[in-house]
Structure 1
Amino acid sequence: MNKCIFQSILFLLFISTVFAQKDAAKVQREYVTKQLPVEEEITIDGLLSDKAWDTVSWDGDFTVFDPNNGEAPSQATKFKIAYDAKFLYVGIRCYDSVPSKIEKRLARRDNFSGDWIEINIDSYNDKRTGFSFNVSAAGVKGDEFISQNGDFWDASWNPIWYTASKVDSEGWTAEMKIPFSQLKFGEQKEQIWGLQLNRRFFRAEERSLWQPVSLDAPGWVSEFGVLRGLIDIQPQKQLEIQPFLVNQYDAYPSQEGNPFRDGSDYKLNVGLDAKIGLTNDLTLDLTVNPDFGQVDADPGAIALDGFQIFFEERRPFFIENKNIFDYEFADGNDNIFYSRRIGRSPQGFVTTTPDEFIDQPTNSTILGAAKFSGKTKNGWSLGLLESVTGNMYADIEDVSGNKRSELVEPLTNYIVGRVQKDFNQRNSFIGGIFTATNRKIPDNLDFLRSGAYTGGLDFKHNWKNRNYYVEGNIVGSHVTGSEDAIARTQNSITHLFQRVDARHVSVDDTRTSLTGTGGKIELGKAGGGNWRYDGGVIWRSPELELNDIGFLRQADEIKQTASVSRLFIKPTNFYRRANLELSQYSTYDFEGNYNRIQYQFEGFINYKNNWWTEVGAAHKPRIFSNTVLRGGPRWRWSDENFAYLFFGSDSRKKLSFTLGYVNSQAAEKNFSLARYVFRLNYQPFDAFSLSISSEFEDNPNKTQYVTESSFNGSARYITGNINQKTFSTSIRFNYSINPNLSIQYYGEPFISRGTYTNFNFVNNPIAERLADRVSMYSENQILKSTVDDTYLIDEDFDGRVDYQIENPDFSYVQFRSNLVLRWEYVPGSEVFLVWSQGVVGAGNPSETLGSNLDRQILGQKKDNTILLKATYRFIL
């Protein structure tokens, strides 16, 4: 194991030397702005006709970024930048030889479509972060916070700024007015900021830039030009207060006798959000009685492997500045901070009698939250988040009217602290993170952990114009609780200390704490030339536990990774760009078991006509799992091969589509997967767009885990042949009356059905042949009960039932939809009118997906919600 890892690292060090090239010096362009005379004003109407614009000079000479990198663009672009005491002004002229063909597609904010222009400003001048302001020819605005040198663009950042655009005989023009309070910078005589302008010429799908950037550049923000001439501008301390009012009416099918389901509910919620600029660099966000609802529902999902499902954060308070708090320490979704834990569904449960009804809260109430975050001119990124969720009670009432309440989630305090420091001319950083979760645990909830603490250190170093990098981190966790809580942690699927064949872990029922570590080290080439490569090692120790405020899928793993890719970035008569990648990884557990190895090929090509194809294939000659039998012995899957093919048409067209197919096959037909994907986008006219995304999946498996039982004092691990089919379709449309007023619809039915046959039990879980791994029950050993929904097992043929298993067949059905009217009546202030529908239930596993769709979704009465939310943003 260790030899393989060290060989990978030595190989990467070798090829980094072989492929290292001397990079050409980058010519950095500069624009020098000037302050407007006191008596001059600029009106933001998109016309560029104000005399004040004569104060500054034009600049232009854009070059193509994509596809013909470095060449002169098809259409010229020029711009001016001016400023006064409080605002930065940008005027842009986008020439077009055929103005009638300018694409003016309407959309809601942050949906970039048609012809557009954007300005990126690195006011920190840290070569890693920036602020992006975008306006389309139709006047639709967009704004994003850029971090990780362009790897992450946060569209949830919604600053207050002003813009307008106009089409004329020469093309189209745009004006922007950006308050300095929405940017972050330190106090100094002259500000020196990073600057980039990026134009999309839609009908040629051509991107042109003011500061030339090569397609093989290692990043985005690090390649900006320079903005000078900002003399004696004063940092503006941001002070914003945003009260909100939410009226919500719920209507649903009533249940006879249930006092909690009488057919309707009404809720009124009033709260307050505030931003206080402690300095221009650092902001304090406060929220009182927050409304953390989300417009889009989480997509339907079902997991038969027992692991938790990761859902994206959608709540604005947690999304904004999330780059500062992010600490993705390993791979996948593993992260020290997973904000969906705050306000989670209550973890407690209530035992009721048949004549009792229960009203279980779906989420924990967030009493308040505060977030201190920002970045200083000296390169310090700072973040501190504090949130408190209250005691949550389930209400119970019986048929006689007797009432009681039981606590299902305790008072909980969450803290996250994050710091990073840039150095080495912004080419390197080092940082740290600390989190704490503390619960006030009563006796009936002592299965929950009372405390959870994590800490971590991370770093990244870039060299040779940021083309090469080494990065890494280490994390540590410590959780405390009652003996029951820590025993549950040890037995959870994340850890599985009870594994019967594990020699390095075991359950200790007397423990009241666990302490673990994790981390990664990675070395690679991120830019320069046509080759990219990386490799590294990731580890998660058996006792690592992050799931109180973080996300950890599985502990007890060491993973080695390596990949190399070839870019084809010079367009030809056949393609605009393409890339090929080969990758490999292997995994081990901390006992030293060699569990998995995978080899994978991936390729992508964007054709000359903007159609595209994506292909991939992988071979897994070794697949062992410590989790399949849920605490049972290590399990071997048959060798697997999988492949996928996706292709799509030109997304600029009024009608575009994507078709995809994924196929996986295991040896001996142990399991297989066939997934069919269809996506359609249609925009018949500028104000309306429609998208449909459908997936159908057929996923049979001869050894799907069912349950564990006991026979003659020994454990029996029972699996079955599952025939699982899943279908989902999401439908969205957007009708924009103007850039600030739109109507949106989102709807998604999700159906998953699984039926089991050919039940069997595990004999030799690591045998090479499937027939040696399991033994099938004969017809004389298994019988379907005529009394209840169980299977009766007579394993020793003595005429007596040795054990029984519940019928595992299932059919899960979910439908969610939202119809939303959004109106930004003044910049930063909005009104939402929402109509939501939903239904969740169980269908009949013996029926087809189509029948369940008809009965459980189309034929069911649905829960309905009418919601009106109004906000007003005071700028003080």
Structure 2
Amino acid sequence: MVPGAPLRLPATAVRATSTPTLDGLDNDAVWQGAPMVDAFQEYQPRVGGEPRFRTEVRVAYDDRALYVFARMHDSAPDSIIALLSRRDVRTSSDHFIVVLDSYHDRRTGYEFAVNPAGVKRDYLVYNDSNEDGTWDAIWDVATRVDSLGWTAEFRLPFSQFRFPEQSAHTFGLMFLREIARTGERVSWPLFRRDAQGFISQAGDLVGLQNIPSPRRLEVTPYVLTKNTTRASDGGARTHPQQSTVGADLKMGLASNLTLDAAVNPDFGQVEADPSVLNLSAFEQYFEERRPFFLEGAGIFEFRNFCGDIDTGCRGLLYSRRIGRAPQLMGRYGDAASPQQSTILGAAKVTGRTRSGLSVGMLDVVTERMVGAEGRTIEPMTNYAVARLQQDLANGQSGVGAMVTAVHRSLDEWTTPWLRREAYTGGIDGRHRFGGRNYEATFSLSGSMVRGDARSIHQLQTDGVHRYQRPDDGLTVDSTRTSLAGLAQRVSLSKFGGGVTRFQFVYQRFTPGYETNDLGFQARADEQIARGWYAFQLLKPTTYYRRAFINSNIGTNWSAAGLNTWNSFNTNWHIELPTQWWLHWGITAQSIAPAYDDRVARGGPAVRVPSGFNYSVGVEGDPRRVLIPTLFIGGRRGDEGRHRSFWVEPNLQFRASSRFSTSLSASWQRADISAQWVRNRTDNVTGALQSLFAPLDQTTFSSSIRLNFTATPTLSLQVWGQPYLSTGDYDRLMLPAAPRAAKYADRWRVTAEDGGGFQFREWRSNVVARWEYRPGSTVFLVWQHGRSGYEDQSGQFAFGPEMRDLFGLPPNNTFLLKVSYWLNP
């Protein structure tokens, strides 16, 4: 219970003598005698308000499952919003949600949600408030709209969640109801949005007696056939049809531990990454989309890096490294080479003991991938991860440890370029205090990589480390066969109590810190300090339903103390009584002198020009058939030489409960005062020269989505994205006095023209999904892509650019995947 919250009676589950018929009706005998939970309170927009409509819930159980019957009264049943979508897709519908904390640890739990159309969503909750939407359990629910409102009758098998073996159980329990047309949300017990945490606010479910340990074994074999064509210099190349057999396994090793395994997994039904043209000095980060790695990913979080407070932390495990595009494709590959590394097998053990110890272990083996003339483009590799977290003081505190290891089977082609082995390890801790409103955290981690001297030399000079920079005090050692480093992080946060919130973070990475064999790290040799302060106004007034006012300040230095970035930002987000949203923000950059030591890709640090960014936006009422959104923004700086403007409109249209579509676009015009172009060696002195140029760039992209849902188990999704970017460089420039305050002193213009580029890309997915029985699915997928890059300047012209885009040779993949869920 949250400190200071009122006392409340627990909910009581009764044992069912016969299995309730899952039909959305309350005429089963068990529902006539089960105690009612009806003391719901409004938590949004008014905290603790009296609900407009009554909600009644009863709970029962037998040896195999927990049953919940919920009656949502509504004075206008014909106005209840019930939209169809595929499973796990949230719509602007009414919803009823059951939250279970079966460990009763106040930190982990499960959510089961349904709307009146019978569309299911489920989530695994960890760290008290983080939701993992990729968790899919096998459960049933029946819904019905009638003259009194609507009902939902759940069957939640005990095999789908975890609890210790004992004769009597108490589960954490919470019910939530969302009424779409009024924007009202109610709960039992009262969920306070001004308090930290979610699962810790649950009530208790008692009465569960002598539940036998469920048999937890699930096997999902699948068969897959795939046809692909790939663009090549000689035109499209058709690859032989591939037929694959694989399987997923889920098995209970103990009452609290689960083994997930995959043999020859395939993720062809996953939507492609969005197109990006990355002109920065750092690697592009892409979100994980594969269900095997997403489910239960929260247990592997390790807070050793936060680049920006509002984008979250990236730690020692970046699972996109597993099954990646072959690293030596550009060196040894050709059009016939595989595009992704094959995962031969993967196993994951996760769970939580009665004493509050969370366990996570992951091991994956990927196959050796071969390119042109039999040369290795990705060696056989083993990836291993282990994570432990121990709760203390009833979940108020905790400590943890994590280690990762990568072992590669190198050969003559891969030894000069890849590390043979890589290890990371760390410890972390957290402590909540002040009525659970405040939290302090820390982490300490280290890394070690080993390999041939040539591969370690390459590592020292890559974009993460840049030991060759002339003004950093670091030196490249071409004889090294290993590299090691440390990282530290501390934070102090206030996430509950009153209207104010804040967070302060400091972190440091030594120059040799390296986690990119299995983690994600943009750069080493860095210190970061961030501060965030906010007002969260959650009590509705005449002028708004809620408002969030944020201020951020941050600065970066190298480990030696060179200031590389600093800024101040404020952003406001206001929900109006009409449920429209207003947004605006402004950022001032380089308030104090700062010098970018990576922009020259191994050259000297260059002064970061001062300037400011701005953005404004408006979002429409999500309850409407037509939902418009518009954001605009831009940047000004570098004595007026850097100018940009962008606009991002979006329109969502719901033609019926079954069909919806959205169209978004992004257009940006930028005059960049100094963009790095390339490095070269001076013919006379042999010194490295970093070449820059002013860049005139126009970029357009769009995202088109069509969704048709025939039933909650049969759906069709279409997604497409064109991406066009044209850039024209002015005369090339060399740094003259790269740290000079004035632009004219900073650069020396040459007589060489910088050229330009034209980048065009189309990516699309068409996915038909049919869950023909619980846990068993058929996927029919068409993935289509076109991509082209030319080193030539030109003016952006939308019509010709689009025609040229669809004139590029295509890449196509046609895939049929059928899986069958077995629970022997």
TM-score normalised by L of structure 2? 0.96
Q: Matches of 1:244 and 1:524 in 2, distance apart?
A: 46
Q: Which residue of 1 aligns with 2:16?
A: 36
In the alignment, structure 1 residue 444 sits paired with structure 2 residue 413 = yes
- Residue 419 of structure 1 corresponds to 388
Deviations 1:403-459 (A, max 9, x none): x31111111111000010111011111101000001111122112111100001111
The reply on whether 1:754 has 2:727 as its aligned counterpart is yes
Counterpart of 1:730, as a letter, is: S
Give the alignment partner of residue 388 of structure 1, picking from 365, 371, 392. Answer: 365
Q: What does 1:158-237 align with in structure 2 at a 5 Å threshold?
A: 158-237=136-215
SS at match of 2:137: coil
The offset of 1:766, in angstroms, is 0.3
Deviation at 1:226, TM superposition (A): 0.8
Partner of 1:125: 104
Contact 1:281–1:375 under 8 Å retained in 2: yes
Gap change, CA 1:627 and 1:28, over 3 Å in 2:
farther
Tell me the amino acid that sits aligned with residue 161 of structure 1: W
**Which residue identity lines up with residue 701 of structure 2 in the other structure?**
S
* Whole-angstrom CA distance in 1 between matches of 2:330 and 2:567: 45
Counterparts of 1:206 and 1:69 in 2: how far apart (Å)?
11
Matched, 1:654 2:636: no
Q: Of 122, 132, 144, which aligns to 1:143?
A: 122
The counterpart of 1:377, out of the listed 354, 360, 371, is: 354
Letter matched to residue 245 of structure 2: V
SS at match of 1:416: strand
Tell me the SS of whatever aligns to 2:30. Answer: helix
> Quick check: 1:266 aligned with 2:241?
yes
* Residue of structure 2 aligned with 1:82, choices 38, 50, 60: 60
Could you tell me the percent identity over the aligned residues? 35
Q: Shift of the alpha carbon at 1:657?
A: 1.4
1:699-718 pair list within 5 angstroms: 699-709=670-680, 710=682, 712-713=684-685, 714-718=687-691
- Residue correspondence of structure 1 range 790-805 to structure 2 within 5 A: none
626 and 476 in structure 1: CA distance in 2 versus 1, 3 angstrom threshold = same
Q: For the structure 1 residues 854 and 194, does the alpha-carbon distance in structure 2 shift closer, same or farther, using more than 3 Å as the test? A: same
User: SS at the partner of 2:241?
Assistant: strand
Displacement after TM superposition at 1:588 (Å): 1.3
Contact 2:303/2:428 (CA < 8 Å) preserved in 1?
A: no
SS in 1 for 2:292: helix
Q: CA deviation at 1:154?
A: 1.3
1:494 to 461, 464, 472: 464
SS in 1 for 2:798: helix
SS in 2 for 1:700: strand
Q: Counterpart in 2 of 1:537?
A: 506
Q: Indicate how the Cα distance of structure 1 residues 471 and 262 shifts in structure 2: closer, same or farther if over 3 A, else same.
A: closer
Give the Cα separation in 1 of the matches to 2:230 and 2:278: 28
Q: Which amino acid aligns with 2:810?
A: K
Report the 3-state secondary structure (helix = DSSP H, G, I; strand = E; otherwise coil) of the residue aligned with 2:375: strand
Provide the secondary structure at the position in 1 that maps to 2:306.
coil
| Contact map agreement 1:704 1:721 (CA 8 A) in 2 | yes
Q: Is the 8 A contact 2:570 2:585 kept in 1?
A: yes
Equivalent AA in structure 2 for residue 272 of structure 1: A
**Cα deviation digits, residues 560-596 of structure 1 (max 9, x gap):** 1222211211101110000212221121111111233
Taking the aligned partners of 1:533 and 1:263, their CA distance within structure 2 comes to 56
Aligned to 1:293: 268
Report the Cα distance in structure 2 between the residues aligned to 1:262 and 1:451, rounded to whole angstroms. Answer: 36
- Assess if the C-alpha contact under 8 Å between 1:476 and 1:517 holds in 2: yes
Deviations 1:335-356 (A, max 9, x none): 200001011111125768xxx9
Deviations, residues 164-212 of structure 1 (Å, cap 9, x unaligned): 1000000001100000000110012211111110101111011100111
Aligned in 2, Cα 1:351/1:718: closer, same or farther, shift over 3 Å?
A: closer
Does the 8 Å contact 1:718/1:759 carry over to 2? yes
| Counterpart-to-counterpart distance in 2, 1:24 and 1:729 | 49
Match of 1:443, SS?
A: coil
CA contact (8 A) 1:254 1:263 kept: no
- Which one of the candidate residues 540, 546, 550 is aligned to 1:571? 540
1:294 and 1:315 in contact (8 A); partners too: no
The offset of 1:854, in angstroms, is 2.4
Aligned residue in 2 for 1:811: 758
Q: Report the equivalent of 1:341.
A: 321
Structure 1 residues 357 and 129: CA distance shift in structure 2, 3 A: closer
SS at match of 2:192: coil
Letter matched to residue 734 of structure 2: F
Residue 330 of structure 1 and its aligned partner are, at CA, apart by 1.4
Q: Please give the secondary structure, in 2, of the residue aligned with 1:204.
A: coil
In 1, Cα distance between equivalents of 2:53 and 2:600: 62
**Structure 1 alignment gaps of length 5 or more:** 1-21, 396-403, 783-790, 792-806
Candidates 455, 462, 475, aligned match of 2:425: 455
Deviates more, 1:71-80 or 1:860-869: 860-869
Partner of 2:7: 27
Query: Is 1:580–1:604's contact at 8 Å kept on the other side of the alignment?
Result: yes
Q: Give CA deviations for 1:648-702 in whole Å, capped at 9, x if unaligned.
A: 1111111101100121111313423322111111101111111112111222212
Matched, 1:157 2:135: yes
Structure 2 distance, partners of 1:387, 1:470, is 34
Between stretches 324-333 and 460-469, larger displacement belongs to: 324-333
Matched, 1:836 2:783: yes
Aligned 8 A contact 1:67 1:207 in 2: yes
Looking at CA atoms only, which structure, 1 or 2, has the larger radius of gyration?
A: 1
Report what 2:310 is aligned to: none
Question: Are 2:638 and 2:673, in contact at CA under 8 Å, matched by a contact in 1?
Answer: no
Query: Structure 1 residue 637: deviation in Å?
Result: 1.8
Query: What SS class does the counterpart of residue 696 from structure 2 fall into?
Result: strand
* 1:360-759 equivalences in 2 (<5 Å): 360-395=337-372, 404-446=373-415, 447-503=417-473, 505-620=474-589, 621-622=591-592, 623-709=594-680, 710=682, 712-713=684-685, 714-759=687-732
1:650 and 1:582 mapped to 2: Cα distance?
26
Pick the aligned partner of 1:239 from 217, 222, 239: 217
SS in 1 for 2:454: helix
Separation in structure 1 between the aligned mates of residue 644 and residue 709 of structure 2, nearest angstrom: 40
CA distance in 2, matches of 1:426, 1:253: 54
Q: Is the 8 A contact 1:821 1:833 kept in 2?
A: yes
Cα distance in structure 1, aligned partners of 2:104 and 2:477: 53
SS at 1:532's partner residue? strand
Contact between 1:837 and 1:862, CA under 8 Å: does it hold in 2?
Answer: yes
Structure 1 pair 416–23 and aligned structure 2 pair: CA distance change class (3 A): closer
Give the whole-Å Cα distance in 2 for the aligned partners of 1:338 and 1:349: 21
Contact 2:786 2:806 in 1 (8 A): no
Q: Distance in 1 between matches of 2:218 and 2:362?
A: 19
Q: Which residue of 2 aligns with 1:771?
A: 744
Q: 1:350 to 1:302 in 2, by over 3 A?
A: closer
Cα pair 1:44 1:176 within 8 Å, conserved:
yes
Query: Which whole-Å CA distance do the structure 1 matches of 2:758 and 2:302 have between them?
Result: 37
SS at match of 1:487: helix
Look up the match of 1:12.
Answer: none
Offset, 1:138: 0.7
Q: Which amino acid aligns with 1:45?
A: D
Whole-angstrom CA distance in 1 between matches of 2:461 and 2:666: 35
Distance 1:749 1:280 in 2: 49
Q: How far, CA to CA, are the matches of 2:73 and 2:520 in structure 1?
A: 49
Distance 1:265 1:58, change over 3 A: same
For the 8 Å contact 1:706–1:808, the answer to whether it is kept is no
Question: How many aligned positions are there?
Answer: 811
Aligned AA for 1:59?
V
Q: Which amino acid aligns with 2:140?
A: Y
